[in-house]
């Protein structure tokens, strides 16, 4: 039986832990206007973002449509792993091919193939214009959506309807992207083919990509002008095979995504990824952790970014089911301490309800945040719109929900060897969130809130926030006072939901 003295000793050693709703940032003297702040930050040691927002690797949040929109708007999306190896890699490839400078190794087709094959490319990849090459890769023509009729022409051979080489504009290597774009504008082209001295197709440049480059100046791209994208992997049996396939698809960053990142399996996986010849060129984020020791262990293993958050998500029940976790503000402060002067970014994952929570996370030392629920109701998230009591919703579920675990997420929760669905122990729920339209508008409002917060702090860059922000602990009354009160809201603002489902 525990003695009273021992109990009091344990109680005295217990610390108070805080989350976002427990604190506020004190307004500081400022010479910084919101429009003057710079939101550029680091996702990993090497990868920069133009806004500090990452879409979560959840199967109701991020597939290629979300990842494309995130990268176009300055953030990045992480493709979830509740997919086959082939399908997850295909999703990554769709992002990498969406907007490019030079599209190297473009999808091509042979003249002896059929319109059926062109239609399949159009349906599966979305390409309406496909270069035609011979068996040696020599460019011989082009087929566009205007050159055939569906379904009448499905059995026709491509060579019978394609545009021959003499009818298309071709440029020879070497050529710069600026020169290629100039040709597209001057000749009013939809596509420009780049060939080598033998006539072999090397790459293409499209008018569509040129227009996107001008429309989204803040988009996040790699050295080849392709949109950046990440992908989640686990510590399960297919992790290595998955990682190799993702590298082939062009993935920019691996996210070793587990509920308990301060564990041998995660540490060993990080070491494998950082030391394997085929994989080590790709940046690695690992998590999730909630302590200084956890962050330090992952960094020492080679992680280029550390994800923080055990149980803060709106659809997560980890803390209730297991009794383990840490309120998110305290977890972030602890992880930042563990990272020390390593230069490895700390990433806040979970518990973000409003843009002000993002500012608080950045004030605690995070470099960026992962969003799930705030993005789950957007047009770009996977799943169909549902109607309930006259309002539009989209499904949102935790990766620890029974449904998600059955589809592949069980190894995230240390239950990868359990083959009996009835023996799975879930750590999440299935719910719905209000449909919120385009993710672009959501990101605009969130970034506007971050800019406003930085103005109150007097910080011009994200790296300045942690040095200038001063926070106070508030009471439940202080939180109540912070929200609209003593009034019935008749028109909701685009960046504030009075009713949270």
Give catalytic residue positions: 316, 412
Residue 272, phi then psi, degrees to nearest 5 = -60, -50
Q: Give the integer Cα–Cα distance in Å for 307 and 358.
A: 15
DSSP classification of residue 153: T
Q: Give the integer Cα–Cα distance in Å for 3 and 25.
A: 41
- Residue whose C-alpha is closest to residue 249's, from 450, 381, 115, 79: 79
Instruction: For the chain, give the number of residues.
Output: 501
Which residues lie below 8 Å from residue 207, measured CB to CB, with a gap of 6+? Answer: 184, 189, 190, 191
Q: Give the integer Cα–Cα distance in Å for 285 and 270.
A: 8
CA atoms within 13 A on the CB side of 229: 32
Do the bridges between strand 368-371 and strand 385-388 make them parallel or antiparallel, or are there none, so unpaired? unpaired
361-370 burial code (b ≥16 CB/10 A, e <16): bbbbbbbbbb
Q: Sheet holding 430-434: strands in order across? A: 385-388, 391-397, 430-434
Q: Is residue 35 helix, strand or coil?
A: helix
């Amino acid at each position: 039986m525990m003695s009273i003295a021992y109990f009091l000793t344990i109680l005295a050693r217990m610390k108070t832990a805080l989350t976002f709703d427990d604190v506020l940032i004190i307004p500081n003297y400022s010479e910084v206007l919101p429009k003057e702040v710079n939101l550029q930050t680091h996702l990993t040691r090497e990868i920069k973002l133009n806004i500090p927002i990452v879409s979560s690797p959840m199967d109701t949040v991020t597939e290629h449509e979300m990842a494309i929109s995130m990268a176009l708007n300055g953030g990045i999306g992480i493709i979830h792993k509740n997919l086959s190896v082939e399908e997850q890699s295909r999703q990554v490839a769709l992002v990498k091919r969406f907007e490019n400078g030079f599209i190297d190794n473009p999808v091509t087709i042979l003249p002896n193939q059929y319109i059926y094959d062109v239609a399949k490319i159009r349906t599966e990849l979305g390409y309406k214009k496909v270069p035609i090459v011979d068996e040696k890769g020599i460019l011989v023509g082009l087929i566009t959506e205007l050159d055939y009729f569906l379904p009448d022409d499905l059995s026709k051979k491509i060579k019978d309807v394609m545009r021959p080489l003499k009818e298309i504009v071709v440029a020879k290597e070497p050529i710069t992207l600026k020169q290629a774009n100039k040709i597209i504008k001057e000749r009013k082209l939809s596509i420009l083919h780049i060939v080598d001295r033998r006539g072999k197709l090397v790459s293409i440049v499209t008018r569509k990509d040129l227009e996107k480059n001008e429309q989204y100046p803040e988009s996040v791209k790699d050295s080849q002008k392709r949109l950046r994208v990440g992908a989640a992997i686990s510590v399960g049996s297919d992790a290595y095979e998955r990682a190799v396939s993702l590298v082939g698809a062009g993935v920019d960053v691996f996210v070793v995504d587990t509920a308990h990142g301060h564990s041998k399996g995660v540490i060993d996986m990080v070491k494998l990824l950082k030391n394997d010849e085929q994989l080590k060129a790709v940046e690695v984020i690992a998590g999730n952790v909630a302590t200084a020791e956890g962050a330090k262990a992952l960094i020492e293993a080679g992680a280029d970014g550390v994800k923080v958050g055990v149980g803060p998500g709106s659809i997560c029940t980890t803390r209730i089911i297991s009794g383990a976790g840490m309120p998110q503000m305290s977890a972030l402060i602890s992880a930042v301490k563990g990272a020390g002067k390593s230069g490895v970014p700390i990433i806040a994952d979970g518990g973000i309800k409003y843009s002000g929570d993002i500012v608080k996370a950045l004030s605690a030392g995070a470099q960026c945040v992962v969003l799930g629920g705030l993005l789950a109701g957007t047009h770009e998230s996977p799943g169909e719109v549902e109607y309930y009591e006259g309002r539009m919703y989209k499904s949102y579920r935790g990766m620890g929900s029974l449904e998600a675990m059955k589809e592949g997420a069980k190894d995230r929760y240390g239950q990868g060897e359990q083959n009996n669905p009835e023996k799975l122990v879930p750590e999440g729920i299935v719910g719905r969130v209000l449909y919120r339209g385009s993710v672009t508008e959501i990101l605009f409002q969130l970034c506007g809130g971050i800019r406003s917060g930085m103005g109150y702090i007097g910080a011009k860059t994200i790296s300045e926030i942690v040095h200038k922000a001063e926070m106070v602990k508030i009471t439940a009354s202080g939180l109540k006072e912070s929200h609209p009160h003593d009034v019935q809201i008749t028109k909701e603002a685009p960046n504030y939901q009075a009713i949270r489902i």
